[in-house]
A and B are shown apart, each in its own frame.
Chain A
């Protein structure tokens, strides 16, 4: 894992001290809320529906066991004993008090963490593949690039007040596990000559009220050219992005309205005027960072344990569903579901977080990952330890064997917490996960996804799911719109609105009818989106509405 150098540590501690002073001045009345709000937002502190909310950055979703233990401690000491892992691979605390936040940031700084740029119109926490460094299908580890971007973008003075927030994702594997094409800029890293990274740059993706799939800006960008190019891309967006209407301020709108070729031409023009001198250290810095991610402490393991104990059905099912092959023989990549039957997607109690920290130390070289699907990954588990790990997970309520199944639902906090939400998402997810777990015991519901957002901002990624659910407010009553056919993988697609919305009570039956029709219609080896594309919206619409 990347370890802060003296500069990083000094920077984060100074920022924490600065915010302590700002809070003190706010509480003393020396700063008005209008003056204080931009400062708190730049430190990840929102005022939500019921209370303040602190969003802590987990850069590219990578955590050490000490960091996870600290997150548990914050939940226990300063919140209500739990935290919520988000689709940006971050964690949110829903109940902190303003007076306590400086202490929380000091505690985070002790383990090389912070909440900087988890809010505001700036470059947000860079997300990445949760299987980075261990995936069997990986070309090149995306984390050194993600860390380079973190360093470049942290408090970048020119990009602190962009027209709107800006999200990066970086992947380096055949399978897209980071929803790359739904980001403002997505970088796909592949090995070039002498194994140096080469970058595909995708631009203009996003969700929200105007969902867009990113388009290819350029392929085969060399490392030496990456940061100057990104700097110019951000500069042109900063200049031309709309500031008159926040709903049209993201780069996806600029690309759509101004045109990719015009945008590209402006970027090239800007690049020609740039001094490359400030970027000169970037290549050496990339390689310095990359060394931190090279694990030289992975002990060799035998491919199969000498004594095969008989497996319980629960363990067999869990291994089948939650363990992925590792690039190192004798190891597995373990995904831990935060989607228990009837549970709250992405929530973990302090006790569970402490347990996860301990388990990472015992079984995974003290390393964990957070996924954009709101689950946890232990990336280095010896195959011979899987049974023991499973038993521990069962004790802590973390052994649900549903990763990648339909009940592995993404859901935003919705109207239970969020000031922007128009309807609740969590209760819908709870009801559906209970029903779907029962259905999954009888039939194969892999290869399709179900995501729920509590408003059009789409933090629950409903546009990008096979079955998306969007909660709306219709005449002060919750109403849920269904979209079908979305996907966040390499063949990314935006789901289509099926028809009129449903009440919360009607949603489970509507989902059942969609699944019934899919199961009855699918041909061997066809997944949901293929069936949807073959039969079209009208067939599904008839099955859902006429059959009701």
Chain B
């Protein structure tokens, strides 16, 4: 059963770029942007329209795995409601790819 959505819930449309795999957000200007700050805010009653945009963009091989995710405004910034989406937007929380500094050889 579909989850009941509050009428004032807002969303953004997100996906991954087909070629690079990068996370992208629908900017509302017939293009996808890499930052959530550029995302077009979608009202609850607009979901069907943007689901169609997502399908069209997938069919046009621009993006893969497009979906709407609920967001909220925090200090005028958009922040995903779901933990998984918050991590997806923020990126890994760890300093990857940098080796732990060599230890000193004990005398």
Pair B97/A82 contact, Cβ less than 8 Å: yes
Q: Please list 24 pairs of residues, one from A and one from B, whose beta carbons are closer than 8 Å in the complex, sorted by A's number.
A: A33-B64, A47-B21, A50-B88, A51-B16, A80-B96, A81-B97, A94-B96, A315-B105, A341-B100, A344-B96, A349-B99, A351-B99, A394-B103, A396-B99, A397-B99, A397-B101, A415-B83, A415-B84, A415-B87, A417-B92, A421-B84, A422-B83, A476-B83, A478-B83
Residue of B at shortest CB range from A94? B96
Q: How large is the interface on B (under 10, 10 to 19, 20 to 34, 35 or more residues)?
A: 35 or more
In the docked arrangement, what's the CA distance between A52 and B19, Å?
Answer: 10
In the docked arrangement, what's the CA distance between A426 and B81, Å?
Answer: 22
Q: A314-B103, A340-B100 are in contact. List 6 more A-B contacts (CB 8 A).
A: A51-B23, A397-B99, A416-B94, A426-B94, A427-B93, A473-B84
**Min CB gap B3→A, angstroms:** 14
Instruction: Enumerate chain B residues within 8 angstroms of A478, measured Cβ to Cβ.
Output: 83
Pair A96/B64 contact, Cβ less than 8 Å: no
| Residues of B participating in the A interface, judged by any CB pair closer than 8 Å | 16, 18-23, 58-61, 64-65, 81-84, 87-88, 91-94, 96-107
Pair B106/A47 contact, Cβ less than 8 Å: no
- Interface residue? A231 (CB, 8 A): no
Pair A397/B83 contact, Cβ less than 8 Å: no
Pair B105/A312 contact, Cβ less than 8 Å: yes
Interface residue from A28, A96, A477 paired with B21 (Cβ < 8 Å): A96
Pair A50/B96 contact, Cβ less than 8 Å: no
Question: A391 and B93 in contact (CB under 8 A), knowing A97-B19, A343-B100, A416-B87?
Answer: no
Instruction: Enumerate chain A residues within 8 angstroms of B64, measured Cβ to Cβ.
Output: 33, 47
Pair A98/B19 contact, Cβ less than 8 Å: yes
Question: A47 and B65 in contact (CB under 8 A), knowing A394-B102, A415-B84?
Answer: yes
Pair A391/B105 contact, Cβ less than 8 Å: yes
Considering residues B93, B99, B106, which has the most beta carbons from chain A within 10 angstroms of its beta carbon?
B99
Pair B21/A476 contact, Cβ less than 8 Å: no
In the docked arrangement, what's the CA distance between A422 and B92, Å?
Answer: 14
Instruction: Enumerate chain A residues within 8 angstroms of B60, measured Cβ to Cβ.
Output: 29
Total A-B pairs in contact (CB under 8 Å)? 114
Residue of A at shortest CB range from B88? A49
Pair B100/A82 contact, Cβ less than 8 Å: no
In the docked arrangement, what's the CA distance between A400 and B101, Å?
Answer: 11
Instruction: Enumerate chain A residues within 8 angstroms of B23, measured Cβ to Cβ.
Output: 50-51
Pair A49/B19 contact, Cβ less than 8 Å: no
- Interface residue? A383 (CB, 8 A): no
Pair A427/B94 contact, Cβ less than 8 Å: yes
**Min CB gap B59→A, angstroms:** 8
Question: A349 and B98 in contact (CB under 8 A), knowing A314-B106, A427-B93?
Answer: yes
Within 8 A of B (CB), among A401-454: 415-417, 421-424, 426-427, 430
Instruction: Enumerate chain A residues within 8 angstroms of B101, measured Cβ to Cβ.
Output: 397
Pair A416/B93 contact, Cβ less than 8 Å: yes
**Min CB gap A76→B, angstroms:** 10
| Chain A interface, number of residues (Cβ within 8 angstroms) | 54
Residue of A at shortest CB range from B89? A50
Instruction: Enumerate chain A residues within 8 angstroms of B105, measured Cβ to Cβ.
Output: 312, 314-315, 391, 394
**Min CB gap A98→B, angstroms:** 6
In the docked arrangement, what's the CA distance between A28 and B60, Å?
Answer: 10
In the docked arrangement, what's the CA distance between A33 and B61, Å?
Answer: 9
Residue of A at shortest CB range from B20? A97
Instruction: Enumerate chain B residues within 8 angstroms of A399, measured Cβ to Cβ.
Output: 102-103
Instruction: Enumerate chain B residues within 8 angstroms of A391, measured Cβ to Cβ.
Output: 105
Pair B16/A476 contact, Cβ less than 8 Å: no
Pair B100/A49 contact, Cβ less than 8 Å: no
In the docked arrangement, what's the CA distance between A216 and B70, Å?
Answer: 49
Instruction: Enumerate chain B residues within 8 angstroms of A352, measured Cβ to Cβ.
Output: 99
Residue of B at shortest CB range from A45? B21
- Interface residue? A38 (CB, 8 A): no
**Min CB gap B21→A, angstroms:** 4
In the docked arrangement, what's the CA distance between A343 and B97, Å?
Answer: 10
Instruction: Enumerate chain A residues within 8 angstroms of B58, measured Cβ to Cβ.
Output: 33
In the docked arrangement, what's the CA distance between A351 and B21, Å?
Answer: 25
- Interface residue? A208 (CB, 8 A): no
Pair A477/B99 contact, Cβ less than 8 Å: no
Question: A52 and B21 in contact (CB under 8 A), knowing A47-B64, A394-B102?
Answer: yes
Pair B94/A430 contact, Cβ less than 8 Å: yes
- Interface residue? A239 (CB, 8 A): no
Instruction: Enumerate chain A residues within 8 angstroms of B106, measured Cβ to Cβ.
Output: 312-315
In the docked arrangement, what's the CA distance between A352 and B100, Å?
Answer: 11
Question: A49 and B87 in contact (CB under 8 A), knowing A33-B58, A314-B105, A314-B106?
Answer: yes
In the docked arrangement, what's the CA distance between A490 and B1, Å?
Answer: 45
In the docked arrangement, what's the CA distance between A349 and B87, Å?
Answer: 23
Pair B19/A27 contact, Cβ less than 8 Å: yes
